[in-house]
Amino acid sequence: LEEAAFQLQQIFRIDISIALNILGIESMRAGRCRVAFTCFKLAADRGYSKAQFNVGLCYEHGRGTDRDLEKAGFYYCQAASSCHPMAQYRYARYLLQHSPGSHWDRHHKAVALLEQAAVAGITEAQAYLGVFYMRGLQPQKKRGLKYLLLAANSGDAQSRYHVGVCYEQGLGVQQDLAEALRHYRQSAAAGNRQARDRLQA
C-alpha cells in the first residue's frame, strides 16, 4: 500500500507540473509573461524538465522576470541533466559563453552536451558543432562536415551554405565544384544571402 500511495503521489505531482507548464505556455502566448513565469517556476521547482527549460528561457530573455544569465544557466543545467535536448544545447552555449571556471572543463562538458543534443536531432546543436569542428583550435573537418550535413538535411540554410564551402574548398571531403554549386543553389533557394553571393561570384 505504501508503494501504491507513493506511485499515486508521483503521478499527481507530474500531472500538476504538466498542467502548470501548459498554463505557462498559454499565458506566454497571451502576453501575460509574469503569470507564465510563475507557472513555469512552480512546475520547474517540482522537477519538471520542460518547465525548467522554460524558466531558463525566461531568465535568458527577461520575459516575465529580470534577465539573469546565471539563473538561466542553472535551470538549463537542471533540464539538461534530465536529458532535455534543447536544454542541453542552451546549457552548452551558456558554458561556452558565460560560465565561470576552468576553460578546459567547461569546453569539454559543453561539447559532450552539444553532441547529445545533436544526436537527439536538435538542428541548432548540429549546426553549432559543424562550425565548431571546422574552425576549432584542432579542426576536425570530416566530423564538422558530418554535423553540417545533418543540420542542412534538417532544413538549415546556413549549414547548407557551409557544406557548399566544404565542397568548394575540399574541407573534410574531396573538392567537387559541381557538388558545391548544388549546395549553394539549395541554400540560396532557402533564402541564404551568402549562398546567393557565392553563386554570383
Residue 140 half-sphere exposure toward CB, CA atoms < 13 A: 8
In this structure, what C-alpha cell is assigned to residue 4?
Answer: 501504491
The stretch 101-128 carries a mean pLDDT of 89
Question: Angle of helix 103-119 relative to helix 123-135, nearest 10 degrees?
Answer: 130
Distance (Å, whole) CA 53 – CA 75: 6
The stretch 139-161 carries a mean pLDDT of 94
Q: Give the per-residue pLDDT at 182.
A: 95
Question: C-alpha distances in angstroms, 3 versus 6, 8, 9, 10, 48?
Answer: 5, 9, 10, 11, 22
Dump pLDDT digits (tens) for 30-86: 999 999 999 999 999 999 999 999 999 999 999 999 999 999 999 999 999 999 999
pTM of the complete model beyond 0.85? no
Distance (Å, whole) CA 37 – CA 56: 10
Distance (Å, whole) CA 89 – CA 116: 8
Q: Give the per-residue pLDDT at 4.
A: 56
Q: Are 147 and 130 in contact (CB under 8 A)?
A: yes
Q: Are 199 and 184 in contact (CB under 8 A)?
A: yes
Q: Give the per-residue pLDDT at 137.
A: 62
Does the domain spanning 122-200 belong to CATH 1.10.8.620?
no
Residue closest to 115 by CA, chosen among 132, 101, 98, 136: 132
Residue 16's pLDDT band, with cuts at 50, 70 and 90, is: confident
Q: Give the per-residue pLDDT at 115.
A: 95
The three-state secondary structure class of 69 is helix
What phi-psi label fits residue 47: left (phi over 0), alpha (psi between -120 and 50 degrees) or beta?
Answer: left
Question: C-alpha distances in angstroms, 149 versus 17, 41, 47, 176, 196?
Answer: 37, 37, 35, 15, 19
What percent of the chain clears pLDDT 90, i.e. is strictly above it? 77
